Structure 1
Amino acid sequence: MPGQAPQTRIIGRPRARHPLILLGRAPCARSAVPGNSPLDRAVGCAPPGGVSLSPRRPHGDWPRSAFYACYFSALGALVPYWPLYLRQRGFGPRALGDLMALLALSRVIAPYVGGALSDYFGHRMTAVRGGAILAFACFLTIPWAHGFVAMAAVMMAFSFFWYATLPPVEASTLAFHGDRYGRIRLWGSIGFIIAVLGLGPVLGRFGAATVVPVIAMLLFGLWLATLGLAPFTSPVASGARRPIQRGLLPFLAACFLMQVSYGPYYTFYSLYLAHYGYSTAAIGALWALGVICEVLVFWQAGRFFAHFRESRLLAFTFALAVVRWVLIALFPRSWPLLALAQTFHAFTFGLYHAVAVRLVSRFAAPGAKARAQAIYGTAAGAGAAAGAAMSGYLWVALGREGMFLAAAAVAAVGFAIIARRRIAPVEPAF
């Protein structure tokens, strides 16, 4: 209303009787003034002479670092080795592709539902804790899931709650730790590397079923990490119809295609290498090499943003994706070329994700940060689901090598979108 004082966000010690604030100590009270948050300063929106109003962090960064480490360690166990486990359970290429597509499909629904609810009610950490414990509980039923329908139901259930935990944490980390986001998120990549390298030899000795208790322990650790996250109350969503600007629609379409191109990689790369005689230890080493290179890019992402526009960086990542899938398709027996292709992961995932998070955060409307991150996650999840589903049929129709060549063609379409439509930072819509 005219003359009414602007809405402020108060972050303080929660009242003991409040039913939605569970565990943790809240930061001191601060007023959220646009332009003075670490995120605003990180993307160049802070007003000259702005005073930092970032809240104190009584818990430090370790709970968020632990959350990212557990979340992506579970991902590091799931992505390379879950197809091997499903094959051991008797699922063929088409059924395996469909199951992985269903797993990815939950990324379409869960991030937006979790992000929208946390924006609407404003209590993000409660949703995160609930999602983490439910993901753990659902995953415990995996050994008793017999047949395609039962396995699909359990995988959808646990992954829904698991994926729903990430957008609220991403939004709050960017809001209050934006200047250190890359270094906090770095622990996720480190966890992924440890899981991939450590599990390869273990599975080679004890069998693919070992991945089940490992993921269960990591999901339990994820829930424990959420208990250390300080309660974070955000502005209640304003009801704006568009959490992000229309100018990012070409970018979201390209994100969809990037994840489609990743479908054969995430679903069949381990089986592809196993077919050519690589051991589980060698497979794990190749996966880890890509993520190690990704860590280096996350650590130095700011240098890229200081010298290049986001649109140019995006085009570069898509071009490298095309080259990467072609190398994997044409030279599966060449360890040096496969290793070279894996180093491209630093850019086709690491730099690509850093650019995506930066753009989504900058273009998000106030009070819709989690929803904006969830929209990005939804576009990526839809692409991952489509890519995983298609990869099973492409494996049968075109063969292993043809499947990766098709992925290169999809990435080339994404490159054309980015190259044709200039995506440049503009002032967010308020």
Structure 2
Amino acid sequence: MGPASESSPRVPTARLSSFYFFYYATLGAFTPYWSLYLESRGLGVAAISVLMSLWYATRIVSPSLWTTLAARASHPIRWLHLGCALALGCFALFLLPLEHAGLFAVMLGFCFAYNAVMPQFESITMSHLGARSDRYGLIRVWGSIGFIVVVAGFGWMIDERRLGVGALPWLMLPVLAGVLGSALLNRYAHDPLPPTREGDDTFRSRLRQPRVIAFFAAAFLTQVSFGPFYTFFSIYLSEHGYPTATQGVLWTVGVLAEIGVFFVASRIFRRWDASLVLMVALLSASVRWLVTGLFPDNMPVMVLAQLTHALNFGAFFAAAMQLLVRFFPGRMNGHGQGVFYGLSSGVGGVTGALLAGQLWRFGGGTAFFASSFIALLAACIVWRWLVRAPIPSG
């Protein structure tokens, strides 16, 4: 934290980090392996795609709705507890022999609840960090560590020679229980003030500021640019002759690089303003997608492109958290986080996936070239409205 009185509590780094660890560890099992589990239950490609689309679709609504409800509550922490409990309860229903309609309902409930809680927890973390928001990366890095641990560990355990993919829900339940347990251990740094009409008006007025609009536009475009990567990167690598093991290496090096940048994030933000870091991150994304489209058969170049994940995801995300604190201080931060997640991961994720599907008909290279242009456009927006017009720290 920044300058504080002697009576100010210390940042509960371990408790905060534990939530990120368990939350992203769950994603480390869900993102790469859940479609395989659904397939093992006899679902076809069309049914699986519908169920998996709920992950992005619920991100459009649940983050902003949940943070709005929390912001209006006299005890907002209870909404975090409720969301985590609902996610665990819904997921436990996957253990039942459900038919397609039942799976759809359970999937909808789980995705809605799980996507709702992280923006509120980001606000809790920032309430503890206060003026030392540059230390965010040292806490958030444990999410990336949890993701890698589970991707590697669960990938080994669900191999057909061991437990098989049918054991995936049983393996994930303890991790989800860890999310709920960590949520129950955490709290805001101080009791939020009661909601007021004046506060709501202030939040809406901040949303209308040109630099805030520019920030959200850049966040949206960034997620759109990741569409071909998140949707078709493994297919793209397969088309160019990369075996599955090599594909895993290329995915992993990006997350490892991301971990590295989170560890040094505090040093980065002590030296450079978050808006400048955001612009550099977007420029690196533009170069990454261009290189991916031009040199898919060059393994060393592809490794270097993946290493830039440290910038275009890790540095981007850390910088975005810094800016959200400036744009939406205090109680407004949770609401701002909800808008950020809903617009970028939600609307941007769906738009990016749909656009990637349309562009893929013209080849993977074309899709990544379009992503490069979109990321460059986002960088230009940040340069024009954020870098050239410094953001007040208050």
Q: Per the shorter chain, which TM-score range?
A: 0.7 to 0.9
Please state how far the C-alpha of 1:347 moved relative to its aligned partner: 0.6
Q: Indicate which of 80, 87, 99 corresponds to 1:128.
A: 80
Partner of 1:414: 378
Q: Indicate which of 79, 89, 93 corresponds to 1:141.
A: 93
Query: CA-to-partner distance for each residue in 1:154-199, whole Å, 9 max, x for gaps?
Result: 3332121112221222112111134343222121111112122333
Please state how far the C-alpha of 1:104 moved relative to its aligned partner: 1.3
- Alpha-carbon distance in 2 for matches of 1:234, 1:248: 23
Give SS of 1:253's match: helix
* Gap runs ≥5 in structure 1: 1-37
Instruction: Letter of the 2:106 partner, please give it.
Output: V
Structure 1 contact 98–392 (Cα < 8 Å) conserved:
no
2:224 maps to 1:269: no
Distance 1:344 1:145, change over 3 A: farther
Structure 2 contact 136–266 (Cα < 8 Å) conserved:
no
- Alpha-carbon distance in 1 for matches of 2:184, 2:129: 18
Instruction: Letter of the 1:321 partner, please give it.
Output: A
2:24 maps to 1:72: yes
Partner of 1:236: 194
Instruction: Letter of the 1:234 partner, please give it.
Output: P
Q: Indicate which of 243, 251, 254 corresponds to 1:290.
A: 254
2:137 maps to 1:182: yes
Query: CA-to-partner distance for each residue in 1:44-103, whole Å, 9 max, x for gaps?
Result: xx6xxx63553356xx432222111010111222233345555665544x7666544431
2:272 maps to 1:308: yes
Identity across the alignment (%): 33
- Alpha-carbon distance in 1 for matches of 2:259, 2:122: 17
Structure 1 contact 276–332 (Cα < 8 Å) conserved:
yes
Give SS of 1:235's match: coil
Instruction: Letter of the 2:391 partner, please give it.
Output: P
Please state how far the C-alpha of 1:253 moved relative to its aligned partner: 0.4
Please state how far the C-alpha of 1:283 moved relative to its aligned partner: 3.2
Question: TM-score if structure 2 supplies the norm length?
Answer: 0.85
Report matched runs for 1:355-366 at 5 Å. 355-366=319-330
Query: CA-to-partner distance for each residue in 1:27-57, whole Å, 9 max, x for gaps?
Result: xxxxxxxxxxx3xx3xxxx6xxx63553356
RMSD between aligned residues: 2.8
Structure 1 contact 80–266 (Cα < 8 Å) conserved:
no
Query: Larger % of helix: which?
Result: 2
Partner of 2:55: 103
- Alpha-carbon distance in 2 for matches of 1:398, 1:151: 34
Partner of 1:51: 5
Higher deviation after alignment, 260-269 or 369-378: 260-269
Structure 1 contact 101–386 (Cα < 8 Å) conserved:
no
Distance 1:78 1:61, change over 3 A: same
Instruction: Letter of the 1:369 partner, please give it.
Output: N
**Moved segments of 4+, more than 6 Å:** none
Partner of 2:117: 165
Question: How many aligned residue pairs are there?
Answer: 377
Q: Indicate which of 375, 387, 391 corresponds to 1:425.
A: 391
* Gap runs ≥5 in structure 2: none
Structure 1 contact 109–378 (Cα < 8 Å) conserved:
yes
Structure 1 contact 73–218 (Cα < 8 Å) conserved:
yes
Please state how far the C-alpha of 1:211 moved relative to its aligned partner: 4.2
- Alpha-carbon distance in 1 for matches of 2:102, 2:351: 21
